[in-house]
Structure 1
Amino acid sequence: MTDPNIPPGAQPVGAGFHFDQASGLVLPDGVELASHGRRIGAYFLAIPLMLVTLVIGYLIWGLIAWGKGTSPALQVLGMKVYRPDQRQVATFGPMALRNIVGGIAQGILSVITLLVSFILFLTRPDRRSLPDLIASTVVVHDPNKVLG
């Protein structure tokens, strides 16, 4: 008997995981790929959070949150950065790569790379932006705090 959640010819994903057919990724049970709206909301939420925390508070909060695989805005909205190839939440190193190198490539280099990143995010089934591609991550919504 075959599992309807596993595409034909694919290997079983293991206990505690499911295959997300829309994105082609293996994700933990209870976790889903973050929606476009939720991700865009996090992007715009970061601006008032920076203002309220006087930027320096946001930077300190961000450094602490990176160790937990999230950022301040993602944390407020119940999202985490996940490494599907390793089946774990991103650690500080990939988060730094994603946010520093990815952020530089996305925003500082030019408006064109920012636009390319946004188009990638909107059109890819796994919803990866340029920083996600650089760090081999995806952003997931974790409403039940399965990822800790």
Structure 2
Amino acid sequence: MTEYPAPPPSASYPAPPPPSGPPMGYPGGYGFQLPPGVTIAPVGRRIGAFFLMILLYIVTLVIGFIIWGAVLWAKGTSPALRVLNMRCVDANTGQPVGWGKMFVRDFLGGIVQGILSFITYIISFVLFLSGDRHQSIPDKIGGTVVVYDPNKVMG
């Protein structure tokens, strides 16, 4: 058997190439990393949340929905999103948002979305369908992205 000499102690080896592809949980091109098991909320789930919101609004007689929503905003979610295991994260960092960003998203974004009623809802829906992050007008105003967290990894 031939033995090879050990490399000299001062020899340096080139750094390994960076790994190919995005890391686990990273939705390529979104600009932030999500924990494993958490994804950008699918279109169907977001549409379901919209109709669930209308139903919850009626069932809770509006005032209950507003109070319930204000409590859940601190956790980065809303009543319909909570029921469907979704929450909002910061569009730049991917970190869960709090009461302030949810207020901007749901209250101010909702006002802007409703300004011209049907027209702005259609514009919001087209933006939502066409973007890779599925952001509606309230999401863009609040600087949020809705994610699906079926295992409640983010809390």
TM-score interval, normalised by the smaller of the two chains? 0.7 to 0.9
Of 113, 122, 140, 1:106 maps to 113
Cα distance per residue 1:17-40 (max 9 Å; x no partner) = 632126454322221000000000
SS of the residue aligned with 1:37?
helix
Is 1:45 the equivalent of 2:52? yes
**Residue 131 of structure 2: aligned partner:** 124
Runs of 4+ residues deviating >3 angstroms: 22-25
Is 1:74 the equivalent of 2:81? yes
SS of the residue aligned with 1:97?
helix
Output the aligned Cα RMSD.
Answer: 1.8
Q: Greater strand percent: which structure? A: 1
Q: How does 1:1-148 map to 2 (within 5 A)?
A: 1-6=17-22, 18-21=25-28, 23=30, 25-148=32-155
**Unaligned regions of 5+ residues in structure 2, if any?**
1-16
Q: Distance in 2 between matches of 1:147 and 1:89?
A: 7
- Matching residue's letter, 1:147: M
Q: Distance in 2 between matches of 1:109 and 1:93?
A: 25
Q: TM-score, normalised by structure 2?
A: 0.82
**Unaligned regions of 5+ residues in structure 1, if any?**
7-12
Number of matched pairs:
139
Name whichever of 77-86 and 59-68 sits farther off: 77-86
- Matching residue's letter, 1:75: R
Change (3 A) 1:43 1:118: same
Q: Distance in 2 between matches of 1:2 and 1:29?
A: 20
Cα distance per residue 1:60-83 (max 9 Å; x no partner) = 100001110000000000000011
